[in-house]
Structure 1
Amino acid sequence: MSQLIQIITAQEPDVRNRSLDAFCRSATLDELLAECAALDRFRRQSDNLYERVRALFFLYAIYRFHIPLKAGLAPGGLVPFDGYDNLLKRRFEEAIDLFLAAPLSDATASALAEAYRRLGFQTLANQVRRSVRSVRGNQWMFRIGHPADQPLRVREELYRADDKMTRWQGEKSSAPTRGEDISPPHPVTPSSPYLFPILHEATPVRMDLSHSGWSDIFFLGMDYPEGARVLNVSIDLAVRGQGDGKPRPPVESFFRVIDQPILRLVSVDLGAVAEITSLAEVFDFAKDYLGL
């Protein structure tokens, strides 16, 4: 059996906790390629989520950090365009098959590393999605086939323009800074001369206290269940020496209806603005920094 597969599947801590780096440093290029082939077969056949994810990240690390350092690897090289296209479209399995079929070079090793890394995170994300979907109260999110099926609605009061609110006076060239009014970056039209009411929400920050201070509980639970016990706490915060010093909910969000058929996301902390013009973009979390 492959030595790296033994590390993944072993129950004995002395074997399971062996360093991947130590093995790869002493292995030859041919030995690493043989291990990669075995790991790729293993991750396709295994029914165990933890084993699949760990095999994927082993493959990423080997192709990214170790194979490029071995003597005998062709420098440079060409990456199959179809594989690159599939990588951009998040079709990682197809991209990996195309990269594996191409001659091994520094370029294809880099492409394989990126494809394996993204597939590892996609595998974890799919499992989280299945877990969320299994909760009865969340199932409505996965049953929407048309915008009219969306059960969430904006309260009627938020559609009423408030003539007591300050009218927008002009353009702003950049995202607001902390303390600035979050107003739409376009003038209010004559048909809607006043701003709509703002809904303000504030919530404590959630902290998961685990055996190591902080860990990815989802992945830790598969590898070390005893260490995945966690205490979930909600915490208000205050900055020492500023203001009245009293803790308050640190996570704030503001919601307001605007006079355009778009969703505009504005982050004060990131100094970023994103405008969403289609429903598909709502779920394209990788498009910008504000998707999540």
Structure 2
Amino acid sequence: MAETLIDVITSGSADRRDRSLESVCEKASLAELLNACAQLDRFRRTSDNLYERVRALFFLYALHRFILPARPGFPAQGLIPFDGYIRLLDRRLEEALDVFLREQERAGPSDSLSSALAAAYHKLGFQTLAHQVRRSVRSVLGNQWMFRAGHPGDQPLRIRPELLARATPASPFPVLRERTPVRMDLSHSGWSDIFFLGMDFPEGARVLNISIDLGVHGRDAAPQPPVEACVRVIDEPVLRLASVDLGCRADITELSEVFDFARDYLGLLKAAVIAAGVVPPGMEGSEARLHDLLVQVIGPGLGLEVVSRVGGIPKGSRLAVSTTLLACLISALMRATGQARSLSGPLEEDERRLVAARAILGEWLGGSGG
């Protein structure tokens, strides 16, 4: 190859940098492509530039997924080491890559092995971005404690006494209700403001948004904030999550289930509970019990119910519903646990910024990557 892929990534010239991978690799031989992969892998391990590392990872993903298998003479069959596959499932991606690359060096490249390498590089690219989001959110004043709390005894949050007050022992606990408008993008950025795309093309991340309420003409008297989150204490020692729109509910009793976003359709609510600090992100992978955490935050024999509703807004509405819902849920949970000064009314500016930072974390925890 007359020009290395590393040159494309590191070039300061837009004409050289902003080109498709296919155009650069079009005339390269199989041997040249394999050599380019080896160079890129060494480069992404040593570069201290986040953008360069991530772009190299996605180049490697595309090379192994699309470009190498299409080359004449590329072996179609090969073995995928089982221990590498297990590491891939466990998200120990660097270890998985080392296993797959050793096998490629030993047995030669193959379509099968490239599929495994592509999966690992792809996941590692997003994992690298997610770690950067965590570091960024952690740097915001007021968030550091969440990443240090690894035991229920470290949890400083307590449910506000107003939410524990009820008229009689048989009465339900009060409901805290948060309502939020949605976002309309006037500049139609086509999602070019999403993290990493914004790094690649910062000019495209300049967007103009407005907050809007919604209503149905002829049905509603006036537009209303369509996104809603409700929080209340319940008489069961569980974390109850429910989505009205999805018709989905779960009573969670194990801490590990809170971090299992693929288990059900409640990943966004789980991400909000974590990002709000009710279940601190520092507890992921610990042997702590959710029961002990609920006792610390709420009290013995009590639990927490979190319910979301987005007013029937369809998917693909371009109204940033997932981000708005996360912010709404996080705001409600922060109010409920005393992280906001007031139970009602607008948030203070420092609280709004904290919610925004945590909503970004929640996007990546929940998998939407916004």
TM-score, normalised to structure 1, is 0.80
Partner of residue 276, structure 1: 252
Displacement, 1:12?
A: 1.1
Q: CA deviation at 1:269?
A: 2.5
Tell me whether 1:149 sits opposite 2:154 in the alignment. Answer: yes
Shift of residue 202 of structure 1?
1.0
| CA 211–194 in structure 1, closer or farther in 2 if over 3 Å, else same | closer
The residue type paired with residue 181 of structure 2 is P
Distance in 1 of aligned mates of 2:136 and 2:209: 18
Which amino acid in the other structure matches residue 64 of structure 1?
Answer: R
Q: CA deviation at 1:6?
A: 1.1
**One-letter identity of the residue aligned with 2:101:** L
Over 3 Å counting, the alpha-carbon distance change for 1:234 and 1:140 in structure 2 is farther
Specify the alignment match of 1:36 in structure 2. Answer: 37
Instruction: Indicate the larger mover: 29-38 or 145-154.
Output: 145-154
**Count of aligned residue pairs for this structure pair:** 263
1:63-106 per-position Cα deviation (integer Å, ceiling 9, x unaligned): 11122222222223321111111111111000011111113222
What is the distance in 2 between the residues matched to 1:79 and 1:194? 59
Q: Which residue does 1:9 correspond to in 2?
A: 10
**Change over 3 Å in CA distance of 1:271–1:76 after alignment to 2:** farther
Separation of aligned partners in 2, 1:30 and 1:162: 77
The Cα of 1:125 is off from its aligned counterpart by 0.7
**Equivalent residue number for residue 126 of structure 1:** 131
Inter-partner Cα distance in structure 1 for 2:67 and 2:247 = 38
| 2:214/2:223 contact within 8 Å kept | yes
Letter in 2 for 1:75: A
Q: Contact between 1:162 and 1:197, CA under 8 Å: does it hold in 2?
A: no
Percentage identity across aligned positions? Answer: 66
**Local SS of the residue matching 2:7:** helix
Deviations 1:89-128 (A, max 9, x none): 1110000111111132222111111111110001001111
Deviation at 1:52, TM superposition (A): 0.3
Question: What is the CA deviation profile of residues 20-78 of structure 1, one whole-angstrom value per residue up to 9, with x for unaligned ones?
Answer: 12233433322221111111111001010000000001111111112222222222332
Aligned partner of 1:158 in structure 2 is 163
User: Cα distance, 1:147 vs. partner?
Assistant: 1.5
> 1:97 matched to which residue of 2?
98
Structure 1 CA distance, aligned partners of 2:156 and 2:136? 21
Please state whether the residue corresponding to 1:137 is helix, strand or coil. Answer: coil
1:227 pairs with one of 204, 208, 211: 204
Distance 1:209 1:141, change over 3 A: farther
Matches within 5 A, 1:19-58: 19-58=20-59
Deviations 1:173-203 (A, max 9, x none): xxxxxxxxxxxxxxxxxxx865433222111
The answer on whether the counterparts of 1:77 and 1:107 sit within 8 Å (CA) in structure 2 is: yes
Specify the code of the residue in structure 2 equivalent to 1:236: D
Q: Distance in 1 between matches of 2:236 and 2:27?
A: 61
Deviation of the 1:276 alpha carbon: 2.7
Residue among 216, 222, 241 paired with 1:265:
241
For the 8 Å contact 2:193–2:206, the answer to whether it is kept is: no
Structure 1: tracts of 5 or more residues without a match:
164-191
Distance 1:100 1:45 in 2: 17
Q: Secondary structure at the match of 2:143?
A: helix
Larger radius of gyration between Structure 1 and Structure 2: 1
Q: 1:142 to 1:269 in 2, by over 3 A?
A: same
AA matched with 2:238: I
Aligned to 1:138: 143
Find the aligned partners of 1:133 and 1:207 in 2 and give their Cα distance.
28
Q: What is residue 201 of structure 1 aligned with on the other side?
A: 178
- Matched residue, 1:173: none
Greater mean alpha carbon deviation, residues 50-59 or residues 12-21: 12-21
Q: SS of the residue aligned with 1:63?
A: helix
Paired residue for 1:255? 231
RMSD, matched Cα: 2.5
TM-score scaled to structure 2, two decimals?
Answer: 0.64
Q: Tell me which moved more, 281-290 or 144-153.
A: 281-290
Q: Distance in 2 between matches of 1:105 and 1:207?
A: 47
CA distance in 2, matches of 1:269, 1:242: 19
Q: Distance in 2 between matches of 1:201 and 1:212?
A: 29
Is the Cα–Cα contact under 8 Å of residues 39 and 55 in structure 1 kept in the other structure? yes
2:193 and 2:207 in contact (8 A); partners too:
no
Q: What residue number does 1:77 align with?
A: 78
Give the counterpart of 2:189 among 205, 212, 216: 212
Contact 1:236 1:250 in 2 (8 A): yes
Mark the CA change 1:36 to 1:284 in structure 2 (over 3 Å): closer, same or farther.
same
